A = this chain, B = another copy of it.
Amino acid sequence: MTGGYCMIMHYTVNRIPVGVLGASGYAGRELCSLIAGHPRFSLAFATANEQRGQSVRLNGQIVTFVASDDADLSSAALVFCALPHGASLPWVERAREAGAKVVDLSSDLRPGHGAPRVPYGMPELGAEARQAIRGATVVANPGCYPTSILLALVPLIRADLVRAEATIVANSASGVTGAGNSPKRELLFAEVAEDFRAYGVGNTHRHLTEMRATVAAFGSHADLVFTPHLLPVARGILSTITVPLTDPLGDAVAFYRDAYAGEPFIQVSDTPPSLRDVAHRNVVALSATMLAGTRQPTLLVTSAIDNLMKGASGQALQNANLMCGLDECTGLPE
């Protein structure tokens, strides 16, 4: 019988043990779910200090949280570190000392944050970036907003299409899982439903650091304006990005299709993507169009991701696949 056949297959392949530090948050749970469905990874441990001892069902698998100090780091070939920003670095080091590779989901090791440089885990930045991830022992997993914005900008910068002295304007809107699951009054249902608001206004959001550093690394000196917003949805990020160009793009959609030819997790479409298109999928959906009625050539790019998938846990697993010599797509819904 097929069902049994499938199950047998799952147990006959050798599985690589991976651990999750900080497994009770939204990203951590998503990671455990993805690992539960991954054909080559198995979950060595999942830590959650506050909820230690508790069991949850994630993607058909019962996961019991342990305290971080009780996790045997050496039992994992690779550790996902999904701890809060600032708390991550010591655990990355401990995991390294225990011999595990690390994908760090915090911002601590990302470009521009001053820590010792490790590869930035955004394979679609190009062959060099992907190669660096493959060979890395530690990878800094990108922020959710930067994932949705940088993959829209980098092809333009690389093709020298962004006007000098330009101001790039990125407006993003995120579902509330992006703000974590610690109880805060402003995140209560009765506060968020039927509301919409900007936050981190005035270019004050932490994610600007890695965006500026990455944009600069690719040679652009454009001003970057970034304003995030809080949406009354659980998951998803939509970024709407205005880019002053040196020259009009004849076919903006074709430009992105060319730029990302062969990339399994980037989907370029003729019409603007919506959150619904990317929910529970590890993809960036992109579309672009020249703006009508402007004197200077200006491009509008829209970009959608699931903040918990390509914006966090899915991309982390994609990086882990590369670091473990597996096919990059293993266990990831396209």
Using a CB–CB distance below 8 Å, which chain A residues touch chain B?
1-4, 6, 9, 13, 26, 39-40, 60, 165, 167, 169, 171, 173, 175-177, 181-185, 187-199, 201-204, 208, 212, 223-225, 227, 229, 231-236, 238, 240, 242, 244, 272-276, 279, 287, 289-296, 298, 300, 302, 304, 326-330, 333-334
Contact = CB atoms under 8 A, between A and B. Distances in A.
Nearest to A185: B183
Contacts of A294: 167, 203, 223-225
Contact of A240 (B171, B296, B302): B171
B242 A167 contact: yes
Copies of this chain in the oligomer: 4
Given A6-B39, A240-B227, A173 B196 contact: yes
A199 B326 CA distance: 39
Contacts of A232: 189, 193, 231-233
A291 B236 contact: no
A36 to B, nearest CB: 11
A327 B1 contact: yes
Rank and list the top 7 A-B pairs by shortest CB-CB distance, nearest first. Answer: A3-B327, A197-B274, A183-B183, A189-B192, A1-B327, A202-B289, A223-B294
B167 A293 contact: no
B183 A184 contact: yes
A302 B228 CA distance: 12
Contacts of A60: 333-334
Contact of A195 (B26, B233, B298): B233
Nearest to A283: B60
A244 B169 CA distance: 11
24 contacts: A1-B326, A1-B330, A2-B39, A2-B327, A3-B327, A3-B330, A171-B171, A171-B240, A176-B189, A176-B190, A181-B190, A189-B193, A190-B235, A193-B234, A198-B238, A198-B272, A198-B302, A199-B272, A202-B290, A208-B293, A225-B294, A225-B300, A227-B240, A232-B232
B302 A3 contact: no
A197 B272 contact: yes
Given A202-B289, A224-B294, 5 more contacts: A4-B327, A194-B233, A203-B291, A203-B300, A225-B294
A294 B203 CA distance: 9
B233 A300 contact: no
Given A188-B181, A195-B276, A276-B194, A329 B3 contact: yes
A4 to B, nearest CB: 6
Nearest to A26: B190
Contacts of A333: 60
B203 A225 contact: no
A273 B199 CA distance: 10
A298 B223 contact: yes
